[in-house]
Structure 1
């Protein structure tokens, strides 16, 4: 069934824009990249800042790998997907990549909790609640699912 959204939800090329919560979710999923950029911008205290949030460098590198998918989706979200065929095909599988990214981030957070022997931590609790909310939002949002669908002229005929 085709769902019609209000006109302001579409780009000028006729494609559905991703909702604002999609961008907030991507920023959360790419939080290691955000921290890396902030630490690179502050040269003098960059390594101490990374050491504060990621005492184990292994978790930092896993966070960068996990956030790579979100970073790619963030870059692709602002592009005209009809201009290049490879961008359009990558965008169409973006929903599944997002679900994989959410699952990987959730497992990564469980791994970090396991390393801490499941001790209570406010930051870990906030991250777990956030990733569960993002997972529920991603699975339930029809608007988000529909923005990854691209219809070409051949499909419409």
Structure 2
């Protein structure tokens, strides 16, 4: 495994999260982001959800698929020295839920394209490209192997 120098470390002495990892989480969690954006808009006369999803069933399927990446995002949010060391053992395997979610998402998008008889849809095409990029990134990135194997050292609470 390739080792990376101190320029890749954060203030806790562990590897920084790559920007592409954060972008991958955004791509995989896009149904939740769309849901939050629609909830925040507070304009009932605009049916913003129908721009992204044709039916409620499509939205709930997308939310179900994205929930796999939500697990990785939750564990990632605990990546600091004050967190439990038990979470560190989970962190080592968080690449796999993300990869599984991306593969399910790609399959679902291909199925949606097939339902429209492969008629070109810019929205589906952009999503297919983004999800395919996430899959390639999760499979091929050497830095992610180091990133997922690194966890901040547990610091006991300071006595005052």
- TM-score bucket of the superposed structures, by smaller chain: 0.7 to 0.9
| TM-score for the superposition, normalised by structure 1 | 0.84
Q: Which has the higher helix share?
A: 1
Partner of 2:98: 98
The change in CA–CA distance for 1:91 and 1:151 in structure 2 (over 3 A counts) is: closer
| Aligned counterparts of 1:46 and 1:93: Cα–Cα separation in 2 | 44
- Cα deviation, 1:70-120, whole Å, max 9, x if unaligned, reads 233233324335531332122111011111111011011012112212111
Given that 2:15 and 2:146 are in contact with CA atoms closer than 8 Å, whether structure 1 keeps it comes out as yes
| Aligned counterparts of 1:101 and 1:110: Cα–Cα separation in 2 | 14
Matches within 5 A, 1:133-144: 133-144=133-144
Identify the range of structure 1 (18-27 vs 130-139) with the bigger mean alpha-carbon deviation: 130-139
Instruction: Give runs of ≥4 in structure 1 deviating > 4 Å.
Output: none
The change in CA–CA distance for 1:88 and 1:151 in structure 2 (over 3 A counts) is: closer
Displacement of 1:14: 2.8
Matches within 5 A, 1:62-141: 62-80=61-79, 83-141=83-141
| Aligned counterparts of 2:152 and 2:127: Cα–Cα separation in 1 | 39
Please, which runs of 5 or more residues in structure 2 have no aligned partner?
154-160
Given that 2:3 and 2:146 are in contact with CA atoms closer than 8 Å, whether structure 1 keeps it comes out as no
Identify the range of structure 1 (75-84 vs 97-106) with the bigger mean alpha-carbon deviation: 75-84
Please, which runs of 5 or more residues in structure 1 have no aligned partner?
none
Displacement of 1:152: 9.5
| Aligned counterparts of 1:10 and 1:57: Cα–Cα separation in 2 | 43
Aligned length: 152
The change in CA–CA distance for 1:79 and 1:10 in structure 2 (over 3 A counts) is: farther
| Aligned counterparts of 2:66 and 2:132: Cα–Cα separation in 1 | 16
Displacement of 1:46: 8.2
Displacement of 1:17: 2.1
| Aligned counterparts of 2:75 and 2:64: Cα–Cα separation in 1 | 17
Given that 1:32 and 1:60 are in contact with CA atoms closer than 8 Å, whether structure 2 keeps it comes out as yes
| Aligned counterparts of 2:6 and 2:122: Cα–Cα separation in 1 | 41
Q: Which has the higher contact order (CA 8 A, sep 6+)?
A: 2
Given that 2:25 and 2:73 are in contact with CA atoms closer than 8 Å, whether structure 1 keeps it comes out as yes
| TM-score for the superposition, normalised by structure 2 | 0.83
